[in-house]
Structure 1
C-alpha cells in the first residue's frame, strides 16, 4: 500500500527537528556546562562548533550516498547515529567526551539533513506542492530551535545538564521507529560514486571550517591556521579539477555557472549565519548580563523562534506571489535589521528592549530558509535534487558554523579587554583588574569578593559583556545588509533550469 507523501514528510521533519534541538539546547545549557566542566573560552566554542564542523564536512558525501544506496536508508542510519551520539553526550563526564559526542551527532546530522530534504523534494512533482513541503521542512527546523532552549530550561531546573540530551534520544527513537513504515525508499537510478570528489571535498570543507572556528581563538594569522589555509587552497584546486572532469561528479560545477543559483547558496549561508549567530548572542546576553535561568531565556527566545515557525508556514505561499528576488533580499534586510535593532539592549535594560529585535530577526530568517532551499532544489532536474539539497545544506551548515564561531568568538575575545578597561576606569588597580578578568573568563563569579568590590565587578562585567555583544550584533547586521546587495542583483525572480539541466522551471510569478 503506498504511503501518503505528507506522512513521510512529517516523519523526516522529526529528524530535522532533532538536529536543530541539539543546536539550541546546547547553546541554552552552555552556562551550566561551563560551571560544571570549567573549559576555557576557546574550548567552550568547540562544544557547539564540533557538531557543525562535522555536518558541514560530511553533508555533501551524505547527499551522494543517499542517492546511491537509498535516501530512506541514509536518513534512518543518520537518525540511529544521532540518537547514539545523544546518549554519549548524556553520559559525558568531561569536555572532551562531550565534544566527541557532538561530533558523533554531527555524523548523524550530516546524513539526516540532505536525505530528509531530498525525500521531501522527491515526494512531490508539482513545484508549488514541493515549495510548501520544503516550507514545512524549514518550519520544523525552527520548531527544533524553539523546543531546545525550552526543554533544556525545564530539565535544568531539576536535573544536571546531561538530561538536556535526552530530548534528542526520545525524538530520535520515535523517528527510527516510524521511518520504515512512513517513508518510501528512493534512489538515483544512474548515480555513481565519485570517490576522489568525496575525499577532496571532505578535506576542503573540514580545513575551511576548522580554520574559521579555531582561528577565532588562536588568531587567523597563527602558523597553524596559515598551514590549514594552505591545505584548504591545495585541496580546493584539486577538488575543482577532479569535479570538472568527472562524468558523474559529487558536485556538478556547471550548476554554479548560473549566477542566480550561486547567489542563492550565499543566501543559504547568510541566513544561518544571522539566525544562529543572533540567537547565540541573545542567549549569552540574557544568561551572562541579565542573569536569567535557562528556562527564562528559552521563554524569551520564543519571540524569535515562534515567529520563525509561523512565518515559515506562510513563506512558501508568499514566495509564489512576490518571487525569489524580493523575498530573499527582503529577508536579508529584515534579519540584518533585527540584529541591529538588538543594539537597543543595555546592561540594565529589560525585555522591552530585547523582544522587538528578536521578533524582527525571526521574521527575516523565516523569509529566507524555505525560499532559498526551494530556489536551489527547484532550479535543477528532480534527479539532481539530492545534489542540490546536499549543497544548500552544506552552505547552511557553513553559515551555522560562521555565525556562532565568528560572532561568538568576537564576544569571548573582546569581553576580557572590555572588562579590564571597565574595572580600571572604576578605580580597581590594574594588577587586581587583570586577576579578576582572568577569573571571569573561566566562569568565576564575584560572590567571593568583598561586597563593595563585588558590586563594582558585577556592574563592570555587565557593561563589558553588553559592549562585546553589541560589537557582534553590529558586525552581523552589517554583513547581512551587505549580502542583500548581490542577492537583489543576481537572484532571478523566476528560477529556470541550469545549463546542465533539462527544462525544469519553477512557475513562480
Structure 2
C-alpha cells in the first residue's frame, strides 16, 4: 500500500483520537450520573453496577472478536460499523425509561466499542511506519484516551445538573456522527487474515465472563449460597478453564495464550489490567461517596476531579517520552505505586471529610494513571512482529477492559457485602424490626430504590446510619484495591526489563508461533 500523505495521516489520527476520546469518556461519564439514575430509575447498588458492567462486559467479551472481524473483513469497515452501533446505542440510552432498557442500551454501546476499538491501534501501527513518529502518535492517542477518562466526571457533572442524566449519552451523538463522516473519507483499509472466526472460544469467553460477573454483582444481594449465584459462578469458572484448553489447541484462536509466555508482554498486560482494576472500581465508588455521603451536587463532584484530570493530561504524553528513553518499566512501576498510595489515601477520610483534606489524593491518582497508559501499548508493539500487531493490540485492550470489568465486580462485591453486613448490624443495634431491616438493606444493596440518595424523605438518623455503613465498606474496598496495585507494582518491576528493546520488534519462538497460528 502506498504511503499516506502527512495531511491524511493526521486526519486519520484526529479521527481515531476523537472516537477513542468518546469511547473512554463514555466508560466513566455515566458514573457521575449514577446517583441521579438510581433516584429516577429506582436502582440500588447492584442495579447501578449493571449499568456500568453492561457496557464493560460486552466490550471485554467481544473485543477480540472485533479484532478478528477487522482482520478478516477490513479494519476500516468494522471500525465504522462499530462507531455507528456505539452512536445509536448512545441515543437509545438517552431515551431509556427503565433500568432494564438502560442496561440494554449500554450493552449496545459496548458491542459498538468492541468493534471499533481493536482497529484503532492497528490502523495507527500501519499509518505511522516510522518508529519515533509512531511513538508520538501513540502517545497522543493514549493521552487523549486518558483525558476522555478523566474528563468524564468534569463534563458529566454540569450536564447532569443542567439537563438531566440522559444528557451524558446525548453528547456522544454529534461526536459519533462527525467521526463517521470524516472516517468514511480518510481512514485507510487493511486486511491481514482470512481465517475463520473462533466461535467456540467466543462462546466460552462470553459464558465465562458473564457467569463470573453475574455471581460477583448479584452475590451480595441474593446471597453467596443462592443456587443461581453459585450456578453462575461455577459455570463461569468452568467455561474459562475450558476456554484456556480450547485456545491452546485450536489452530486459529481468538486469543493466543502463548502471547503471555513472554515476560515483558505479560508484565505490560498485568500492569494494564491492574490499573483498570483499581481505577475503574474507584470511579464507580467516588460519585456515590461524594454526592450521596458528602452531599456534593453532580457539578461540584465533577469539578472536584479537575486536579486528577490535570495530572493525567501532564503525565500521559510524558510517559511516552519516558518509555522511549528509559524503557517501559520505570513509568509503569511508578504509575502503579502512585495509584496504590492514592487508593490507600482515600481510606483515611469518612463522612465528615472536607475537600482540602483529601485534595492531595486526586492529583496523585491522576499522575499515576497518566504514567500507565502509553507505556503498556509501546511495550506490546515493540515486542511483537508487525504482522501480529492486530492480535497484540486486541489482546492488550481486552486485558485492560477486563481489568475494569473485574475491578467494578470484585471491589463492588467487597463494598456491597460489607455494606450489607454493617448496615444490618447497625439497624439491629438500633432496634429496627426485622422486616424493615431487610427492606432497607435490600433497597440500598440490590435493585431497590437506592436508599443512599439524599433528600429521599428518610429520617436523618437513618441517613447517618447508611452513610456510616457505606463509608466503612468503601474503606475496605479501596484498601483491597491498594494492596492489589502495590503487589502488581512489585511483579511488574521483576518482569519488565529496565532498558527499552531495540527498535525492530523481537520475534522469538513464542511470537513466531503466535503469528503463524493467527495466519498473520
TM-score, structure 2 normalization: 0.88
| Counterpart among 486, 509, 517 of residue 499 in structure 1 | 509
C-alpha distance in 2 between matches for 1:179 and 1:299:
32
The CA deviation string for residues 128-180 of structure 1, in whole angstroms up to 9 with x for no partner, is 33333222222222222233223322222232322221011122111111111
CA shift, 1:431, in A, is 2.5
Structure 2 match to 1:30: 34
C-alpha distance in 2 between matches for 1:440 and 1:204:
28
| Counterpart among 346, 360, 363 of residue 364 in structure 2 | 360
Q: Pairwise CA RMSD of aligned residues?
A: 2.6
Partner of 2:347, secondary structure, is helix
C-alpha distance in 2 between matches for 1:207 and 1:462:
31
8 A Cα contact 1:272 1:400, kept in partner? yes
Partner of 2:350, secondary structure, is coil
8 A Cα contact 2:135 2:320, kept in partner? yes
CA shift, 1:300, in A, is 0.8
C-alpha distance in 2 between matches for 1:458 and 1:290:
12
Partner of 1:157, secondary structure, is helix
CA shift, 1:26, in A, is 1.1
C-alpha distance in 2 between matches for 1:66 and 1:273:
27
1:251 counterpart = 2:248 = no
8 A Cα contact 2:158 2:302, kept in partner? no
1:337 counterpart = 2:341 = yes
The CA deviation string for residues 359-407 of structure 1, in whole angstroms up to 9 with x for no partner, is 1111111111111122123211111111111111111111111222222
C-alpha distance in 1 between matches for 2:410 and 2:419:
14
Partner of 2:433, secondary structure, is helix
Structure 2 match to 1:305: 309
Structure 2 match to 1:457: 462
1:399 counterpart = 2:409 = no
Partner of 2:66, secondary structure, is helix
1:155 counterpart = 2:159 = yes
CA shift, 1:212, in A, is 4.0
- Give the direction of change, closer, same or farther, for the CA distance of 1:227–1:6 in structure 2 (3 Å limit): same
Partner of 2:392, secondary structure, is helix
Structure 1 match to 2:480: 475
Partner of 1:430, secondary structure, is coil
Counterparts of 1:97-496 in structure 2 under 5 Å?
97-188=101-192, 192-215=196-219, 217-220=221-224, 222-422=226-426, 428-431=430-433, 434=437, 442-444=449-451, 454-493=459-498, 494-495=500-501, 496=506
Partner of 2:29, secondary structure, is helix
- Give the direction of change, closer, same or farther, for the CA distance of 1:330–1:389 in structure 2 (3 Å limit): same
Partner of 2:384, secondary structure, is coil
8 A Cα contact 1:254 1:499, kept in partner? no
Partner of 1:153, secondary structure, is helix
- Give the direction of change, closer, same or farther, for the CA distance of 1:459–1:226 in structure 2 (3 Å limit): closer
CA shift, 1:308, in A, is 1.2
Runs of 4 or more, structure 1, over 6 Å off, are none
8 A Cα contact 2:44 2:443, kept in partner? no
C-alpha distance in 1 between matches for 2:229 and 2:455:
38
Comparing 172-181 with 225-234, which one deviates more in the overlay? 225-234
CA shift, 1:232, in A, is 3.7
The CA deviation string for residues 173-227 of structure 1, in whole angstroms up to 9 with x for no partner, is 1111111123211121565544444444444444444444444544555433443
Partner of 1:158, secondary structure, is helix
Comparing 92-101 with 112-121, which one deviates more in the overlay? 112-121
CA shift, 1:17, in A, is 1.3
- Give the direction of change, closer, same or farther, for the CA distance of 1:446–1:108 in structure 2 (3 Å limit): closer
8 A Cα contact 1:47 1:102, kept in partner? yes
Comparing 231-240 with 22-31, which one deviates more in the overlay? 231-240
Comparing 26-35 with 461-470, which one deviates more in the overlay? 461-470
Structure 2 match to 1:507: none
1:83 counterpart = 2:87 = yes
Comparing 432-441 with 384-393, which one deviates more in the overlay? 432-441
- Give the direction of change, closer, same or farther, for the CA distance of 1:368–1:95 in structure 2 (3 Å limit): same
Structure 2: which 5+ residue stretches go unaligned? 514-520
1:52 counterpart = 2:61 = no
CA shift, 1:106, in A, is 0.5
C-alpha distance in 2 between matches for 1:385 and 1:481:
30
8 A Cα contact 1:281 1:472, kept in partner? no
TM-score, structure 1 normalization: 0.90
1:71 counterpart = 2:75 = yes
